[in-house]
Structure 1
Amino acid sequence: MRPFKQGLFSYVSHIYQRKGIYYYRVNVPVDLQQHFPTEEIKKSLKTREPKAAKVMAVSLEYRIQQAFTIIRSGMLGDDMIRQVVESIVPSRQKASVTKGTLLTTAIGQYTEVKQLEWTPKTVMEMGGVFRLLVDILGDVAVKDVTKQTMLDLRSKLMRLPANRYKKYPEQTIQQLLEMPNIPPMSIKSVNKHIGGMAALLRYCADEGIVSVNNATGLKLSDKKRADEDRSTYSKDDLKRIVASLPRDPATPERYWIPLIGCYSGMRLNEICQLYVEDVQEVEGVWCFSVNDAKDKRLKNQASERMVPVHPKVIQLGFIEYLEQARSAEAPRLWMNLTWMDIHGYSNGFGKWYQRFNREYVTDDPKKVFHSFRHLVTDTLKQAGVQDSLIAEMIGHSHGSHSMTMSRYGKRYQPKLLLETIVLLDYGIDIPAWQG
């Protein structure tokens, strides 16, 4: 048994060579061994080429470590954990040919295919979706999922509560369906589950497991406009926010992040993950560089952009704060925030802001940190700013012309964006930073 050559690949302890063939091997963590049939995962990489082994091992390492993280999250039931385990340690036993592919088997196969494409957050969300679907339908053969099966599924979803596993962990599906006066999950949540089933059956149809996708065309119509999902902050809300923002030098993020959101429309995670080097002076304009370098994430391609720092934020002392961070050789702007696999850097701050928002600002459940984006968008729209400028400011695609813009159009110059962002004038007094 010959170990993988040191220096060619970082996972030296996980790769070895036997009779010229490269293999991957990793120990199952002690706290997870109860879920696995063996204490060690071992797979042939089926190649004699070191470079090919490296590429395959990177993918395999990612999948296995992601599986460990998902199982540790505590969000999955026994059936879903078994699916995740079998996606990396396939069972030698196959479903009966006469019965067909079972729902849990199909979910495991589909999840394995999508793992490299999905973010950890999507993996967790889809795990929750499939867990509920299996609870409702049972581990049926996929070929037995008829149109009537899907109509019955949709009917039950419309009567079940949101957060079923958190609020009613002891009740069965049937018990919940028989309980009176339970607020049902939203139409959006129902459609998310129907969409998950539709995507799964589409995969099954492509693989020849079923002949038709019986989950298509079943999403419910949600007549609410997109801008009704969240409410914008009022001027009185903003006054309460700025009056209550802590200015403690030990927690600078609690002062600056809400203000940056208020005067830029950036998403919470975009602000939370900023590195010191992401604040740049471009053509004489201070800007936030929103990018996915290092451990940062973007929601979509349109999210990568330059956003001018509002003069009001500069006036309050942000550049001085930036220089202090540089002098201290801090890599990121908010060193109190820690990275999580699913939420990035925003989890801890998001929980604090939710408490702050409810205690000092409003009890309206539709008013959240995301309301700053609505505030920025609405303020600029009312000022007559063209949609494409607003879209670039907040990181949306440019509507029906997005393909033309992305192929042939250039980004707006920082000076033009600055002329737009200065229109965000809320007429409120804000105590300056004194860190």
Structure 2
Amino acid sequence: MLYRLVRPMIRDGSSIPYFVQRIPADVRARAVGLKLSVPCGGETISKSIGPKTVTIRFSLRTREPSEAKLRQAQAAAYLESVWRALREDAPVPLTHKQAVALSETLYRAWKDGDGRERVTAMVHDPETSEWDRDYDGPSEAERVAEWEAAAQTIARLEGDEHAQEQALGPIVNRLLLAKRIRRVDHGTRMTILSEFRRALHDAFTARTRNAEGDYSPDPMAERFPEWRAPGVSASVSLATLYADWRREAEARDVTDSTFKSYGGVVKRFSAFVGHDDASRVTPDDVLRFKDHRLAEGIKPKTIKDSDLAALKAIFSWGVANRRLTSNPADGISLKVGRAAKTREKEFTPDEAKAILTHALRHECSKREATKTCAAKRWVPWLCAYTGARVGEVCQLRKQDVRREGDHWIITITPEAGTVKTKEAREVPLHEHLIELGFGDFVERSADGHLFITKRGRHGATYRNVSKKVGEFVRQVLADRGVAPSHGWRHLFKTRGIEAGIVGRVLDAICGHVPSTAGDAYGSVTLRAKIDAVEKLSRFAV
């Protein structure tokens, strides 16, 4: 089943996105009374479902868009597994080994505590310049007595199923649900309760030794096996995990560029750790990989938004689909500082003139493909007058260009290739492009893509063409502080503002998502776009 991915929501007056998901109607009644521990970054958020609860809502606790998307997906995957467990609602049998592994969480929580009991407060006397203990807190003897009493209380629960259920039942329910298990059979539950009681007794005994001044390693800490969820195989390859994640992601129209990026990350990560077993990957492996990529000189933003994002998404899918017991990349991130701004992201007038003149004067070489030559001639000009992404222009087809009366229109559509917003849009062409001969070029062209030459199964893509166009532009654009093609999108917006074009119309032409919920109402018509484009001045070359 595909789990629901909804966009993070922004509340009025807040810059921090919220996770909001309705509880499915078919499981709402069975969900009442549940206490959820929803993962959010490296933390968990407790949410209780009452009789009147309709949605699960909480802050994603980050302003970073990429991190917010990851946390959104993480929470959605967790909730989908809860809803699935409620729908199936069949008791799950666990082995004794799994029950012991499950109890480790309780043991660690109580044995390690938060460290406050191990701190001795000291007070400085300015008159004597001496330090002395602060005896306001419990003494060592009192702490020893407290932990001994706790251990004895837990010991008395042994063999009493009713007392164990009363004392430990709610904790068992929460930890089972955190492991995506709604219910277990009666025999399993009794085993889990017994192991939880034993884990607490061991933890309290260890705390008693600590209070007595003995901080040697607790031998009982080594008795817990690794948790493996029911149905999780002992080994799953990284390549298989990626392939299965991709198969499901294709149904959500994830872009080819994301698949290419994530696939590359998986291959690099597998080579780095020296194996292909996803179940053996640890958080330390991910941390070492992050440090390795930094040492290679990779930009922090690339590591955060590509490397870590890929690992988190794929491992999270593995957990949600019971291929893995945990996500080793969960909670691992990288702070990205703001880069120093040395110039605007758009081309200067001189740079724009140099690029367009270079394109206008380009002549095909004997060894250059006809469509590549055409791309160098027309792609910079089309980007300059449409504000479109270079990939959207490179994948234009003859059928995507039409004439309506005195106006020429291009349709940027996912049918031709990758479109970031996954939505088709119509963009009117400036009359200067037609005067330069673009309309004649289209009419002379064969059916199909204007700038891409297909070669068999693995034919050229817009990325091959856009790369060549970028290299061509770099022949006259020396400043590496501006992108050779994306600079046109920034310049188009600037020229549009200077011409007095409404921002919403500029967004519709460029393919930018509405900036507010209100802007999503109504449509920017083709007529409004034509009027806007007619306001743009010509480029002088």
TM range, normalised to the smaller chain? 0.5 to 0.7
TM-score by length of 1: 0.59
1:123 aligns with 2:259: yes
Which is further off, 298-307 or 201-210? Answer: 298-307
Which ranges in structure 2 are unaligned for 5 or more consecutive residues? 1-231, 365-369
Alignment of 1:34-433 (within 5 A): 99-114=234-249, 117-139=253-275, 142-159=278-295, 161=296, 184-191=297-304, 192-224=306-338, 231-245=345-359, 246=361, 248=363, 251-282=373-404, 284-293=406-415, 296-301=416-421, 303-325=423-445, 330-332=446-448, 334=450, 337-338=453-454, 345-364=461-480, 366-401=482-517, 405=520, 409-410=522-523, 412-425=524-537, 427-429=539-541
Q: Deviations over 1:274-327 (max 9, x none)?
A: 23332223475321111234xx113244541110111221232333334444xx
Cα contact 1:232–1:375 (8 A) shared by 2? yes
In structure 2, C-alpha distance between the alignment counterparts of 1:385 and 1:397, rounded to whole Å:
17
Q: Deviations over 1:54-81 (max 9, x none)?
A: xxxxxxxxxxxxxxxxxxxxxxxxxxxx
Assess, with a 3 A threshold, how the Cα gap between structure 1 residues 253 and 260 changes in structure 2: closer, same or farther: same
Q: CA deviation at 1:388?
A: 2.0
Which is further off, 217-226 or 303-312? Answer: 217-226
Letter in 1 for 2:470: Q
Cα contact 1:110–1:203 (8 A) shared by 2? yes
Between the aligned residues of both structures, percent identity stands at 20
Q: CA deviation at 1:420?
A: 1.8
Q: Deviations over 1:323-347 (max 9, x none)?
A: 444xxxx214736744686786434
Q: CA deviation at 1:111?
A: 4.1
In structure 2, C-alpha distance between the alignment counterparts of 1:98 and 1:353, rounded to whole Å:
48
Which ranges in structure 1 are unaligned for 5 or more consecutive residues? 1-96, 162-183, 430-435
Alignment of 1:17-28 (within 5 A): none
Q: CA deviation at 1:260?
A: 1.0
Cα contact 1:291–1:304 (8 A) shared by 2? yes
Q: Deviations over 1:146-195 (max 9, x none)?
A: 44443333222322x2xxxxxxxxxxxxxxxxxxxxxx101122111111
Cα contact 2:396–2:449 (8 A) shared by 1? yes
Cα contact 1:235–1:426 (8 A) shared by 2? no
Cα contact 1:307–1:417 (8 A) shared by 2? yes
In structure 2, C-alpha distance between the alignment counterparts of 1:418 and 1:142, rounded to whole Å:
53
Q: CA deviation at 1:132?
A: 1.2
* Other structure's SS at 1:379 match: helix
Q: CA deviation at 1:201?
A: 1.5
In structure 2, C-alpha distance between the alignment counterparts of 1:256 and 1:357, rounded to whole Å:
12
Q: CA deviation at 1:232?
A: 1.7
* Other structure's SS at 2:411 match: strand
Letter in 2 for 1:397: V
Letter in 2 for 1:101: V
Letter in 2 for 1:132: R
Which is further off, 218-227 or 284-293? Answer: 218-227
Cα contact 2:407–2:428 (8 A) shared by 1? yes
Cα contact 1:280–1:288 (8 A) shared by 2? yes
Assess, with a 3 A threshold, how the Cα gap between structure 1 residues 335 and 110 changes in structure 2: closer, same or farther: closer
Letter in 1 for 2:236: T
Higher relative CO (Cα under 8 Å, sequence separation at least 6) belongs to 1
* Other structure's SS at 1:361 match: coil
Assess, with a 3 A threshold, how the Cα gap between structure 1 residues 313 and 333 changes in structure 2: closer, same or farther: farther
Cα contact 1:272–1:346 (8 A) shared by 2? yes
In structure 2, C-alpha distance between the alignment counterparts of 1:193 and 1:336, rounded to whole Å:
30
In structure 1, C-alpha distance between the alignment counterparts of 2:266 and 2:447, rounded to whole Å:
39
In structure 1, C-alpha distance between the alignment counterparts of 2:530 and 2:484, rounded to whole Å:
26
Cα contact 1:267–1:370 (8 A) shared by 2? yes
* Other structure's SS at 1:289 match: strand
Q: CA deviation at 1:419?
A: 2.3
Cα contact 1:278–1:289 (8 A) shared by 2? yes
For these two proteins, the number of residue pairs brought into alignment is 301
Q: CA deviation at 1:263?
A: 0.7
Assess, with a 3 A threshold, how the Cα gap between structure 1 residues 276 and 209 changes in structure 2: closer, same or farther: closer
Q: CA deviation at 1:393?
A: 0.6
Letter in 1 for 2:533: I
Q: Deviations over 1:185-224 (max 9, x none)?
A: 0112211111111112111211223343342332323343
TM-score by length of 2: 0.49
Which is further off, 259-268 or 113-122? Answer: 113-122
Q: CA deviation at 1:234?
A: 1.1
Letter in 2 for 1:255: R
Assess, with a 3 A threshold, how the Cα gap between structure 1 residues 193 and 352 changes in structure 2: closer, same or farther: closer
Cα contact 2:411–2:426 (8 A) shared by 1? yes
Which is further off, 355-364 or 257-266? Answer: 355-364
Letter in 1 for 2:424: E
Assess, with a 3 A threshold, how the Cα gap between structure 1 residues 193 and 253 changes in structure 2: closer, same or farther: closer
* Other structure's SS at 2:408 match: strand
* Other structure's SS at 1:263 match: helix
Assess, with a 3 A threshold, how the Cα gap between structure 1 residues 273 and 108 changes in structure 2: closer, same or farther: closer
Assess, with a 3 A threshold, how the Cα gap between structure 1 residues 227 and 338 changes in structure 2: closer, same or farther: farther
In structure 2, C-alpha distance between the alignment counterparts of 1:101 and 1:288, rounded to whole Å:
47
Assess, with a 3 A threshold, how the Cα gap between structure 1 residues 355 and 150 changes in structure 2: closer, same or farther: closer
Cα contact 1:302–1:397 (8 A) shared by 2? no
